Amino acid sequence: MRIRHLPETLINQIAAGEVLERPAAAVKEMVENAIDAQSSQIEVRIENGGKSFIMITDNGRGMSRDDLSAALDRHATSKLPDDDLLNIGYLGFRGEALASIGAVARMQISSRERGADEAWSIFIEGGSKEDAEPSSLPEGTKIEVRDLFYATPARLKFQKSARAEYLAVKDVMLRLAMACPHVAFALVHDGKKVFDYPVADDAQSRLDEILGNEFGHNAMSIEAEREGILLRGHAGLPTYHRSNSMHQYLFVNGRPVRDKLLHGCVRAAYSDVLARDRHPVLALFLTLPPEQVDVNVHPAKTEVRFQDPGLVRGLIISALKHAIHDHGFAVTSTVSHAALDRLARPQNHGAPAMALPMHTGRHMSGVHAYSMQMPATNTIPEDKRGMAEDFYTSYTPQMGWDSEIEPSARADMQTEDPQALLDNPEHFPLGAARAQLHENYIIAQTPNGMVVVDQHAAHERLVYEKFKKQMQRDGIIKQGMLTPEIIELEESECIRLLEHQDTFEQVGLEIDAFGSDAIAVQAIPVLLGDKPKLKALMEKLAHEVTESGTAQGVEERLNQILSTMACHGSIRSGRRMNTHEMNALLRDMEKTPLSGQCNHGRPTYVTLSLSEIETLFGRK
C-alpha cells in the first residue's frame, strides 16, 4: 500500500461533504458571497427545493475575468487581505464554497465587475473548469447551479424531499435577511414568489416584516450590555411559544448562528415559564469585539466559540430573565384575540342574542357567553364554603407568607369592597371578583372590562413562586410525617428517585428505600398542603429525573422539581371558591412575579375590554 496525494477534484468533493450538507447550504454560501460583495439586491430562484436548480442574481461588486477563474479554486479568497483570522469582516473567508459547489454540480457563473464594460462567464462541472468566455450582464453576478450532488452519488441518495429542502432554503434566507436589513431579498420557488423584502431602514423594520405584527405585539424588547458585549433584539412573551426552536433567530456580529451555547441560554432563561417541549420565538443580536469570538469552528460557520463563554451566558440569561420578570404580569394578546374570533356572532338569526337557547349545538358553544349573566355576588351556599377554605388555609398568616408583603400593601389587601377595588386599578389591575364558573374560572370586573382567571393555572404559579422564594431564603419549610407514607412504585422508578435523594432533600422531600419496589416518604414541603397525592407526584418526578438526565444545571433541576410539586400542590379545578377567596387569589397574583403564566407557559388569565365586549354585541 502506498500513500498518494489525492487529486484536486477529489479533495474538493471531500470538502464539499462538510460545507455543503444540502441545497440550502449552497444557497447560504452563495447569498453570503453576494452580501460580502456589497450587493443591495439579491434574488434567489430555486426549483425542486434547490435540488435540480438554483439561481442567484446580485448587483454587487462583481468579478473580473481573472478573479472569476480564481474564485473557483480552493482556498482562494479576497476576504482575508491581512491573513488575520482574528478579525474577520466578511461572512465568508475560507475560500472553499465555490470550489466545493463546482466539484459536485454543474455551475455557470457570469459576472461584470463594477465599472467594467464587459462581462465574463465561466462553466465548471464535476470539478473540471472551462475557460472564461465573454458574456453579457449588468453589473453584478449571476450564478446558476444545476444537478447539485450529481457527482457525489452517496450524498445524492440521502437528500430529503423537495419540500423539506425548500423550507431549509427559506429559513437560511430569512436569517440572512434579518441580519442584513439594508439588502433587498427575494425568493422564488418553482416559479412562485415566496417573499420579496425591499431595502429596510433598520433591523427593527425588517424584523417586523418577516415575523409579522403578531410577534411585535407579543415580544419584549431586549437591550443589555456587559463588559463591551452588547445584546439587542426581541424576545417573545413566555405565553407566545412554538413546538420547536426553529423560530429562534440568533446572530453573532451580524452572522446568523445556530449555536448550542446560545440556544442553551434561551432554554435556561425560559425554563421557569415554559414547558420543556415548548420554545419561545425570538431574534437576538449579540455584538462583541471580533477577537473575542472564533467563527472558524466549522466549515458551515454557524457555530462559534467565545473567549469567555461564562460572560456571554450570564449576559443573555440575565437579560432575558429580567425582561420576563418585568413582563411577568403580561399575557400574550393573541390568546384573547383568538378567543374573540371564536366568539363570533351567529349570522342569520332574527332574534336578539338574549333569546338564544343555551344549547344550540356544539358548533355554537362559544355563544353561551352571550346569554351568560353575571351575578353581582356569588351564590355558593354557606355550607359549601368551608371546602375551599380548608385549602386556602395556605393563604393565612399562620403559614408565614403574609410576612413577605409590605405593611402598606397589606393594608390595601384587606379591602374587599368592590368599589374600592375598581377605583384603584393601579393597585388592583385584576379588579373585583364577581363569580366563579364551572368551579375553575373566576370572573372579575375591572374598571374597563373583565378578566377571566384559570384558578388552577394561577395558583400553580403562585405556589411555585412561593417555593422558590422559600428556597432562596432559608430552604423549603417541610413537615415530617407522623408515620412514613409507603408508596409502591416500579423498581426502576424507585432506583431513579433514590439516585436523586439528595436533590429531593433540598426541596423538602425526604425519601428512603423501602424494599425494592416501594419508597418511604418521611417528610414533605408544607406548601404541598395536607393531603397531597404523593403517588402521582413521585411517579411524575421519577419520570422527569430520567428525562432531563444530568445535562441540566442544579438550579434548573431544582426549579423543575419545584414546578412539578407546585402543580400537584395547587388548587385543582373543581374547587368552589367564595368571593373572599377569589379576591385573595387575585391580590396574590398581582404581587407575584410572572403570575401572567403558569409554569407551562399557559396564560393564567385573559382580559376582555369593554370595547371588545361591545364589539361582540355589535354595539361598536
Footprint of ligand ADP on this chain (CB under 6 A)? Answer: 29, 33-34, 37, 58, 60-63, 71, 76-79, 92-99, 141
CB of 101 to ligand ADP, least distance (A): 8
Q: Which is nearer to ligand ADP, 146 or 427 (CB)?
A: 146
Q: Which of 26, 97, 172, 489 binds Mg ion (CB under 5 A)?
A: 97
CB of 61 to ligand ADP, least distance (A): 5
CA 215 to chain centre: 11
Which one of Mg ion, ligand ADP, none interacts with residue 60, CB within 5 to 8 A by kind? ligand ADP
| Residue of 463, 539, 551 lying closest to 507 (CA atoms) | 463
Question: Are the C-beta atoms of 422 and 431 separated by less than 8 Å?
Answer: yes
CB of 37 to ligand ADP, least distance (A): 3
Distance (Å, rounded) from C-alpha 310 to C-alpha 229?
12
Distance (Å, rounded) from C-alpha 402 to C-alpha 390?
17
Q: Which is nearer to ligand ADP, 46 or 367 (CB)?
A: 46
Helices (H), 143-297: 153-157, 162-179, 203-217, 260-270
The end-to-end CA distance of the chain, in Å, is: 87
Distance (Å, rounded) from C-alpha 191 to C-alpha 43?
13
CB of 62 to ligand ADP, least distance (A): 6
Distance (Å, rounded) from C-alpha 485 to C-alpha 514?
10
Q: Which is nearer to ligand ADP, 71 or 497 (CB)?
A: 71
Question: Are the C-beta atoms of 306 and 312 separated by less than 8 Å?
Answer: yes
Q: Which is nearer to ligand ADP, 34 or 317 (CB)?
A: 34
CB-based contacts of 565: which residues, under 8 Å, 6+ apart? 463, 467, 507, 509, 525, 527, 528, 537
Query: Do the bridges between strand 282-287 and strand 305-306 make them parallel or antiparallel, or are there none, so unpaired?
Result: unpaired
Cell output for 467: 417555593
Q: How far is CA 57 from CA 35, 125, 203, in A?
A: 11, 20, 23
- Could you give the string, one character per residue 527-556, with x where binding to Mg ion holds by CB under 5 A and - elsewhere? ------------------------------
Q: Which is nearer to Mg ion, 254 or 484 (CB)?
A: 254
Which one of Mg ion, ligand ADP, none interacts with residue 95, CB within 5 to 8 A by kind? ligand ADP
Task: Give ∠ CA 455-457-461 in degrees, rounded to 5.
Answer: 110
| Residue of 575, 505, 592 lying closest to 272 (CA atoms) | 592
Q: Which is nearer to ligand ADP, 79 or 410 (CB)?
A: 79
Distance (Å, rounded) from C-alpha 452 to C-alpha 454?
7
CB of 327 to ligand ADP, least distance (A): 41
Question: Are the C-beta atoms of 530 and 439 separated by less than 8 Å?
Answer: no
Which one of ligand ADP, Mg ion, none interacts with residue 181, CB within 5 to 8 A by kind? none
* Beta bridge partner(s), residue 129: 124
Q: Which is nearer to ligand ADP, 97 or 432 (CB)?
A: 97
Which one of Mg ion, ligand ADP, none interacts with residue 37, CB within 5 to 8 A by kind? ligand ADP
Cell output for 161: 424531499
User: Over 440-504, what HEC string results?
Assistant: CEEEEEECCEEEEEEHHHHHHHHHHHHHHHHHHHHCCCEEEEEEEEEEECCHHHHHHHHHCHHHH
CB of 93 to ligand ADP, least distance (A): 5
Backbone angles phi, psi at 204, to 5 degrees: -60, -45
SS3 state at 570 = coil
CB of 32 to Mg ion, least distance (A): 5
User: Over 41-54, what HEC string results?
Assistant: EEEEEEEHHHCCEE
Distance (Å, rounded) from C-alpha 356 to C-alpha 447?
28
Q: Which is nearer to ligand ADP, 300 or 422 (CB)?
A: 300
Q: Which is nearer to ligand ADP, 139 or 539 (CB)?
A: 139
Which one of ligand ADP, Mg ion, none interacts with residue 604, CB within 5 to 8 A by kind? none
Distance (Å, rounded) from C-alpha 407 to C-alpha 413?
10
Length of the chain: 620
Q: Which is nearer to ligand ADP, 79 or 313 (CB)?
A: 79
Distance (Å, rounded) from C-alpha 396 to C-alpha 398?
5
Which one of Mg ion, ligand ADP, none interacts with residue 102, CB within 5 to 8 A by kind? none
Given phi > 0 = left and psi -120 to 50 = alpha, else beta, which region is 349?
beta
Footprint of Mg ion on residues 353-412 (CB under 5 A)?
Answer: none
Number of residues that bind Mg ion (CB under 5 A): 3
Segment contacting Mg ion (CB under 5 A): 97-105, 108-116, 473-481, 546-554?
97-105
CB of 165 to ligand ADP, least distance (A): 20
- Tell me the DSSP string of 289-323: -GGGEE-TTSTT----EESSHHHHHHHHHHHHHHH
Segment contacting Mg ion (CB under 5 A): 28-36, 150-158, 193-201, 459-467?
28-36
Q: Which is nearer to ligand ADP, 109 or 558 (CB)?
A: 109
Q: Which is nearer to Mg ion, 94 or 112 (CB)?
A: 94
CB of 123 to Mg ion, least distance (A): 19
| Residue of 111, 108, 173 lying closest to 146 (CA atoms) | 108
Which one of Mg ion, ligand ADP, none interacts with residue 63, CB within 5 to 8 A by kind? ligand ADP
Which one of ligand ADP, Mg ion, none interacts with residue 595, CB within 5 to 8 A by kind? none
Residue number of the CB closest to ligand ADP reads 92
Q: Which of 12, 33, 248, 579 binds Mg ion (CB under 5 A)?
A: 33
CB of 236 to ligand ADP, least distance (A): 33
Q: Which of 23, 49, 92, 328 binds Mg ion (CB under 5 A)?
A: 92
Given phi > 0 = left and psi -120 to 50 = alpha, else beta, which region is 529?
left
* 583 makes contact with Mg ion (CB under 5 A): no
* Beta bridge partner(s), residue 140: 112
Question: Are the C-beta atoms of 498 and 511 separated by less than 8 Å?
Answer: yes
Segment contacting Mg ion (CB under 5 A): 30-38, 40-48, 176-184, 444-452?
30-38
Q: Which is nearer to ligand ADP, 124 or 558 (CB)?
A: 124
CB of 249 to Mg ion, least distance (A): 21
Which one of ligand ADP, Mg ion, none interacts with residue 71, CB within 5 to 8 A by kind? ligand ADP
Q: Which is nearer to ligand ADP, 79 or 591 (CB)?
A: 79
CB of 32 to ligand ADP, least distance (A): 7
Which one of ligand ADP, Mg ion, none interacts with residue 146, CB within 5 to 8 A by kind? none
Interaction site with Mg ion (CB under 5 A): 33, 92, 97
